[in-house]
Amino acid sequence: MTGRDALTAEFLAEVARHGLTGRDLLSVLPRTGMVAEALSGRSLSRPLFLGQAESERLNSDLQHVRAALVSLPDRLFGGDLAAFARAAGLRERQLAAVLGTRGASVTQLARADMYTSQEGPRLLELNMGSGVDGIENGEICRAMLRHPVLREFARAHRLGYVDTFGQHAGMIFDETGFKRDSCPMVAVVDWPGHYQRIRTFLHEVTRRWRRRGLDAHACHAGQLTVSNGRVRLRGRPVDIIFRIFLTEHMLEPDGPALIQPLIDATRRGQVAMFTPLDAELYGSKIPLAMLSDHANRPLFSAAELASIDRILPWTRTVRPGPVTLEDGRSVDLFGYAVGHQHELVLKPALLHGGIGVVAGWDPGTSPQAWRDRLASAMGGRYVLQRRVRPQPELCPGEDGGLTGWVVTWGVFTFPDGYGGVLARAFTADSGLAVTKTGSGLTIGCCLVGG
């Protein structure tokens, strides 16, 4: 079957044969609406490509890794979720919020952030819960396929895309227990400091959800009230809180006052929360280190171990003492990290969007700065991860030449299987070491063989 590399090469050849530029390919994108708001004028000039076998293998590996992750409280902590949460890096204030909204099962909503390397896809982190973005990636595919050359290429190679947006809406019904014809009132709740930046996009999302049977309305946490046994938005009782705010907001000065009433209402059964805050436990980087730790290998099935070995780079919690390398050697973590700076990245356990990440290979990270950051992280809520060298994706530029992009593949996994890809990218010559939210990232999507 045709795979990613072959499909990319064939499409670029087709673009050259027609004398097209990146500007030509992007001319079909809408200037208003949800897609335009999501892209903010920055879009890769072509979709990424995946062959059918590649997407199936990738989904299988991610499902195995997810299953291993959500089993960690039972396998390592005797079912004690609080002990697992503390080990994953949560503070006590956050822990109380997590336990107050915990559902009967962990959400199925997950997006893996990955690089494609010469060895294949490699997992950087696994994001779980309703705080993940990128559900509009299928709509971007739909818009890009308006270009006749891409549309014909997709037809000839039997390429399509997943309706991530629709599957996401269906998951809200399934995981909250509301029937598809019940039209529940959904408050899509962001954090006040972030809401103004994306409110237009959120209103586009909620408008489309209303077409799919969810009476959805965007707001921030400060606009919700609790009275007469119900959470209310502008006086209307809310059935589902669609949570965009995060556990880290519980650590802000006004966090508990805004979030705790919602947690209490959820615990009393007065409102459903999609997704409960326990989803974020599994998005911490420390559980990935638990999966990567050689000492824990006997806990996992052969299928889980095969997937972990295939996609998860060497990852370790930052603490004093010995660690085991990929080849089985035992080394002192601090000494090894100091001596192998350019092969490692230091990551905070629970922050998102690249915040606090220190890449050892970044020219701006001196040996002394690296040593100092390691020393300050030692015994704290940090992990070290083996560097993944991504293969740049070539895309037609505005003048027709090819530009190399470093792409983070945000791969969605749903109960039904592979769920689409949100691409976030920066040019290979930008000087950036890691993908960081707010750094002018360019957005893209993915077509997959079927």
List the beta bridge partners of residue 323. 331
Token pair listed for 30: 């809408």
What sign does the dihedral 63-66-70-76 (CA atoms) show? positive
The DSSP secondary-structure symbol of 341 reads G
Token pair listed for 224: 């919700």
Q: Are strands 215-220 and 185-190 parallel, antiparallel or unpaired?
A: parallel
Q: What are the pLDDT digits (tens) for 61-117?
A: 999 999 999 999 999 999 999 999 999 999 998 998 898 888 888 999 999 999 999
Q: What are the pLDDT digits (tens) for 42-70?
A: 999 999 999 999 999 999 999 999 999 99
What sign does the dihedral 144-147-153-158 (CA atoms) show? positive
Amino acid identity for residue 273 in this structure: M
User: Cα–Cα distance between 100 and 241 in angstroms, integer?
Assistant: 14
What pLDDT was estimated at residue 123? 97
Q: What are the pLDDT digits (tens) for 395-424?
A: 999 888 999 999 999 999 998 889 999 999
Alpha-carbon separation of residue 107 from 58, 179, 237, 279 (angstroms): 20, 18, 24, 6
Token pair listed for 408: 């983070």
Nearest to 123 by CA among 38, 58, 45, 78: 58
What pLDDT was estimated at residue 306? 97
Nearest to 76 by CA among 289, 241, 252, 272: 289
The residues, ordered by sequence, that sit 6+ positions from 71 with a Cβ below 8 Å of its Cβ are none
What pLDDT was estimated at residue 450? 83
Report the length, in residues, of the chain: 450
The low-confidence residues of the chain, meaning pLDDT below 50, are none
